Amino acid sequence: MTEYLTLGPETRRGKGRPRPGRQRNRWLVIAGYAALSVGCLLLGVVTFLIVAAPVDLVRDRLVQQVKSRTGRDLVVSGSTSLVLFPRPALSLVDVAVSAPPDMGGAPTLAVQALKAEVGLLSLLTGQASVRRVVLTRPAVELRVDAQGRRSWDLALAPTRPVKAAQPATSGDGRLQPLPVSAPQAQDARRLAGGGNLAATLEMFSPASIQVVDGSVRYVDERSGARYDVTSLELDLALGDSAGPLTTKGSFAWRGEKVALESNLSPLRALLDQQSAKLTVKLAGQPVEASYDGTIEVSAGLALEGRIRLKSPSAQTLGSWVGKPIAAGRDTGALALSSSLTGGNDRIALADLEATLGDTSLNGSLAIETKAARPYVSGTLRLSQLDIGGILIRPGPDAAAPDSRPSQAAPRKVPQVRGFTKQPGGKADWSDDLIDLAPLGLADADLALSADRLLYKDMKTGPVRLSLQLKDSVAKLALQEMLLYEGRGRGVVTLDGRGQTPATTANLMLEGISARPLLTDALGLDWLEGQSTIAVAIAGQGVTERQIITTLNGKVDMATANGSIDAVDVAKILRGIEQGRFAGLRVAAGEKTPFSELAGTFTIANGVADNQDLRLVSTNLRVTGAGSFNLPARSLDYTVRPKIANLNATTERAVINLSNVEIPVRIEGPWEKPNISVAGQEQILEAMKQIGKSLKSQEVEDAIKGLLGGGDGQQKVKPRDILEKLFKKQ
């Protein structure tokens, strides 16, 4: 019998197998319960962090780390709170890091608000793992006390090596101080030796630090110097100690905002007291500067690299850095490029190339900064050295009353070529201020050479000199100088120590072309010839006028094969021979040639006295004596010319002046002096009185003839006058 099995619907569908849809629902339920559990866990963690997070524990851990590694106290005067969004962070208000215990004073660092982003795990474990720090309005004070101690040097806290230690808590749950292990002591020694920011960053291992509206103050109690950096905005990024430390931001210095970028790589090399690569860029209105090289802190800060600097104005840059380098007119833009080696309070600039306005220079310098005033040494070659541009600045429109000479100002008269410069030249002494303050910026010992040396209108050719500068006294030793077709040497000293600057000059000038020299120096162009001049003078004052008024010293001058312009002494004598006293004047185009002109001038309080003038020419011998009032730019001088032969004498002469000295007086302003024969007025007056007493038209006509008066009247000889006078009597 055969049995047949009939499969029911359940059997046909595979009774006992899990349904696919039901399996999927089961996993969804599991995932949902898991997500709910995680959510509850996260909610519990968040609730724990809000209600019972160990904020104080983390804060105290930070305090202990700062104390153990730097020896400083980290004080939190304000509130401490936890911020969860957008990232977990510890917020501290009114935070300060104390100054060294043996120095006291204001905190080295004071922060209005500190926000440190930390991981959740660090909050739960009490370990300070800082990822990002935001400092709002931090104030850093870097102070050097009277003993030379620096507030930023990190002292080593007392250490006691131990094998291992766990944080201990007091009864109130606060951490107790930990003994410092050997590695910690090594870190602290590294900090104490270098005292650098990079090591401090590694101590907290932040990913980045942001500074918002910060300030830095530097105070040196030894010199009283004080500098302030304000509006400091910085972003410092640090991945790890093996990577670079990058900085980007800006700051304000003396009212000018400057952008800053830097890259230090790798940071670990610097921490291990090895050389690290450093690039720095500054960009602002007063300056653009960059450094590309290396930095090392094993034995103090050491740099080796190349610097570049640009500024639209050297004066602006000097004022911005607090060291004005030029008091006078703007010398123009500054550009500088040089290799730099620095360390142990010494900076060396090699392959130096720079331009300052129209001046270019190259050479090498060494700058020692240990003393209160830097010491600069080296060798420079310049296209020009403009002393006036460095030291002179515009003065008031009129000089102060006490700086004017006591003599009355000379009367304005038409200028005559031969006794004044051409238009645009010197018409009076300058009241521009001579500011010797830049001499106090540094001490120096420099070897200089220049294609030309300038001082106002005076200029030279190639010059080789040395500059010694000490305690605001500059000594310029002119070793070789080409000027005005001749040569010169000597020493010029500028003393800026007192309230009234002093200037001295000892110079020997040989083969000098007299006209351009006197034109540029004094505004006189009446002397031609090749001159040898020995100058030993000294004066005091802050203006050219004051120096001339106080001038003392001596000048020896000898000129050969030249001429005196605008005066013809031989012509004057011929006029006197013919009885013509009128018309004695300077005149354009007239000359008195000579083979030799020499004399010594002794100067006292601005008045040059001469008693030994001598002039020698073919037919003329002249001696003279008198004075030149330099402040008033006037002269009172008497020359005694003597004709050496009769070649110039004509039959029209009424007096034979051969080998006879005739005193001729020259007086008045330099621009147009008056010339007269000494005693001329008395001679004329006596002859007029004779004519009046005789009442004779014939005699009066004769006298007029002697004096050259009357139109077309023939001059008469003295014997004719005498005959008529005796006949009348």
What is the distance between the alpha carbons of residues 25 and 342, in angstroms, rounded to a whole number? 75
- pLDDT higher than 50, residue 400: no
Can you give the residue ranges of every domain in the chain? 57-160+194-238, 385-678, 682-728
Task: State the pairing for strand pair 433-434/392-393.
Answer: antiparallel
Count CB neighbours of 651 within 10 A. Answer: 5
pLDDT-derived band at 298 (thresholds 50, 70, 90) equals confident
Q: Tell me the C-alpha to C-alpha distance, in Å, between residue 306 and each of 192, 256, 342.
A: 29, 25, 11
Confidence at residue 453, expressed as pLDDT on a 0 to 100 scale: 92
* Structure-derived torsion over alpha carbons of residues 415, 417, 421, 426, reported in degrees to the nearest 10: -20
CA-closest candidate to residue 640, choices 659, 618, 656, 667: 659
pLDDT-derived band at 368 (thresholds 50, 70, 90) equals very high
Confidence at residue 405, expressed as pLDDT on a 0 to 100 scale: 39
Q: Tell me the C-alpha to C-alpha distance, in Å, between residue 590 and each of 565, 585, 662.
A: 6, 10, 20
Q: Which residues, listed in sequence order, are joined to residue 317 by a DSSP beta bridge?
A: none
Confidence at residue 168, expressed as pLDDT on a 0 to 100 scale: 43
Confidence at residue 557, expressed as pLDDT on a 0 to 100 scale: 95
Highest mean pLDDT among 80-94, 121-135, 559-573, 623-637: 623-637
**What value does the mean pLDDT take over residues 535-540?**
96
What the block records as the tokens of 402 is: 């006490």
What is the distance between the alpha carbons of residues 241 and 46, in angstroms, rounded to a whole number? 32
Residue, of 684 and 176, whose pLDDT is higher: 684
**What value does the mean pLDDT take over residues 220-245?**
83
Handedness of CA 199, 202, 207, 212 (dihedral sign): negative
Average pLDDT, the chain: 75
Residue, of 60 and 422, whose pLDDT is higher: 60
- pLDDT higher than 70, residue 579: no
What is the distance between the alpha carbons of residues 378 and 158, in angstroms, rounded to a whole number? 47
CA-closest candidate to residue 566, choices 624, 613, 524: 524
Structural contact between residues 639 and 666, judged by C-beta atoms closer than 8 angstroms: yes
DSSP string, 67-132: HHHHS--EEE-S-EEEE-SSS-EEEEEEEEEPPPTTT-SS-SEEEEEEEEEE-HHHHHHT---EEE
pLDDT-derived band at 587 (thresholds 50, 70, 90) equals low
What is the distance between the alpha carbons of residues 381 and 83, in angstroms, rounded to a whole number? 63
DSSP string, 665-715: EEEEETTS-EEEETTHHHHHHHHHHHHHHHT-HHHHHHHHHHHT-STTPPP
Highest mean pLDDT among 16-30, 63-77, 298-312, 669-683: 298-312
Confidence at residue 617, expressed as pLDDT on a 0 to 100 scale: 84
Q: Which residue has the tokens 């202990």?
A: 64
Phi, psi (deg, nearest 5) at residue 263: -145, 125
- pLDDT higher than 70, residue 724: no
Buried b (16+ CB within 10 A) or exposed e, 600-615: bbebeebbbebeebeb
Structural contact between residues 570 and 577, judged by C-beta atoms closer than 8 angstroms: no
**What value does the mean pLDDT take over residues 487-508?**
94
Q: Which residue has the tokens 């360390």?
A: 343
Confidence at residue 108, expressed as pLDDT on a 0 to 100 scale: 87
What is the distance between the alpha carbons of residues 96 and 63, in angstroms, rounded to a whole number? 11
Residue, of 522 and 700, whose pLDDT is higher: 522
Confidence at residue 578, expressed as pLDDT on a 0 to 100 scale: 60
Confidence at residue 83, expressed as pLDDT on a 0 to 100 scale: 74
**Residue 222 region, left (φ>0) first, then alpha (ψ -120 to 50), else beta?**
alpha
Structural contact between residues 338 and 306, judged by C-beta atoms closer than 8 angstroms: yes
The fraction of the chain above a pLDDT of 90, given in percent, is 33
- pLDDT higher than 90, residue 7: no
Structural contact between residues 517 and 500, judged by C-beta atoms closer than 8 angstroms: no
What is the distance between the alpha carbons of residues 670 and 421, in angstroms, rounded to a whole number? 11
Confidence at residue 160, expressed as pLDDT on a 0 to 100 scale: 40
Highest mean pLDDT among 218-232, 234-248, 348-362: 348-362
Report the amino acid identity of residue 334: L
CA-closest candidate to residue 471, choices 452, 444, 432: 444
What is the distance between the alpha carbons of residues 435 and 474, in angstroms, rounded to a whole number? 13
* Coil vs helix vs strand at 187: helix
Tally: H helices and E strands in the chain: 15, 34
In this structure, which long-range contacts are made by residues 712-719, counting pairs with CB atoms below 8 Å and at least 24 apart in sequence? Answer: 715/578, 715/579, 715/580, 715/652, 715/654, 716/654, 717/654, 718/654, 718/655
**What value does the mean pLDDT take over residues 56-69?**
72
* Of the listed ranges 52-56, 459-463, 621-625, 633-637, the one predicted with least confidence: 52-56
Confidence at residue 121, expressed as pLDDT on a 0 to 100 scale: 57
Q: Which residues, listed in sequence order, are joined to residue 115 by a DSSP beta bridge?
A: 91, 134
- pLDDT higher than 70, residue 185: no
Count CB neighbours of 685 within 10 A. Answer: 10
What is the distance between the alpha carbons of residues 506 and 495, in angstroms, rounded to a whole number? 15
Q: Which residues, listed in sequence order, are joined to residue 293 by a DSSP beta bridge?
A: 278, 305
What is the distance between the alpha carbons of residues 654 and 719, in angstroms, rounded to a whole number? 9
pLDDT-derived band at 531 (thresholds 50, 70, 90) equals very high
Phi, psi (deg, nearest 5) at residue 516: -65, -35
pLDDT-derived band at 40 (thresholds 50, 70, 90) equals low
- pLDDT higher than 70, residue 725: no
pLDDT-derived band at 164 (thresholds 50, 70, 90) equals very low
What is the distance between the alpha carbons of residues 546 and 606, in angstroms, rounded to a whole number? 9
CA-closest candidate to residue 650, choices 584, 586, 571: 571
Task: State the pairing for strand pair 453-455/385-386.
Answer: parallel
- pLDDT higher than 70, residue 76: yes
**What value does the mean pLDDT take over residues 465-482?**
95
Confidence at residue 343, expressed as pLDDT on a 0 to 100 scale: 86
**What value does the mean pLDDT take over residues 387-408?**
58
